[in-house]
Amino acid sequence: MKLFRHGPVGAERPGIVAPDGSARDLSALLPDIAGPLLLPAGLDSIRALDPLALPVLPPGFRHGACVGQVPKFICVGLNYADHAAETGTTVPPEPVLFMKGVNAICGAHDDIEIPRGSSKTDWEVELGVVIGTPAKYVSEAEAMAHVAGYCVVHDVSERAFQMERQGQWVKGKSHDSFGPIGPWLVTADEVPDPQALDLWLEVDGHRYQQGNTRTMVFGVAALVSYISQFMTLQTGDIISTGTPPGVGLGQKPHRVYLRAGQEVRLGLAGLGEQRQRTVQA
């Protein structure tokens, strides 16, 4: 299934993509794409519905974040060997974890704010993993049973805040609008191999990133298992799994960063595309 949330900021309602490709409204039947509805029984209850019997949404609706009420936004750094190389770092012996504030989450086509005082706002297309059944101390063999589905994540980053200021990466990762997710949550049954997905990103029509999830250092099963050794993964948690090469920080001979008035497009095969305008905060 392809599930989504639509409507104004703060008042999003659930929706589903019908077999004919039309967008249908689920709000008369479900409260949200969040919480218990992301558990296996909840997703099965949605599968039992007939999408073609649901109201068709008019064109031009806003795609909100594809998952609501996200408990944690967990990110993995340097998870593509060629991306690590372009940033001048070595491949880590185990996953590098950091958090984004959940305030960063926004819709797939919402504007990206360039923070006040920013000089190095950067782009990163990533595969997002949405947790269904909570996971604590799970093995790699068990890990995939805890995945509800997948989505496109844009891990927007302010490199000066992230790398040149004191403290952890989180303050370079958590500005409002720095975490567009969606347009859809694609359930795990429709993604037979999350390690075989093409992903790409363009700025003003120039393609900077082009990769495939098969080159991830640590795959989805390894990441879910690893993270569950340190914290319980809760229903609705999002894991952003890292980015392929081509970020602004890695451009040669001169680094390239976002500025207000640009258009960013990005996507993953089968998971949809995002389109954002950059604006000054």
Q: Where are the domains of the chain?
A: 65-280
Strand partners, 152: 127
Evaluate whether 155 touches 80 at the Cβ level (below 8 Å).
no
Whether 157 shows a pLDDT value over 90: the answer reads yes
What pLDDT sits at residue 166? Answer: 84
Would you give the distance in Å from CA 140 to the centre of its chain?
A: 22
- Whole-angstrom CA distances from 93 to 77, 78, 79, 96, 211 are 12, 11, 10, 9, 22
Distance between CA 239 and CA 79 in Å, rounded? Answer: 12
What pLDDT sits at residue 85? Answer: 77
Q: What is the pLDDT of residues 171-191, one digit of tens each?
A: 999 999 999 999 999 999 999
Distance between CA 113 and CA 121 in Å, rounded? Answer: 9
Phi, psi of 220 (to 5 degrees): -60, -50
**CATH level 3 topology of 65-280:** Fumarylacetoacetate hydrolase; domain 2 (3.90.850)
Q: What is the pLDDT of residues 206-230, one digit of tens each?
A: 999 999 999 999 999 999 999 999 9
What pLDDT sits at residue 226? Answer: 98
What pLDDT sits at residue 233? Answer: 98
* Residue 84 token pair: 């690590």
pTM above 0.85, yes or no: yes
Q: What is the pLDDT of residues 53-89, one digit of tens each?
A: 999 999 999 999 999 999 999 999 989 987 777 777 7
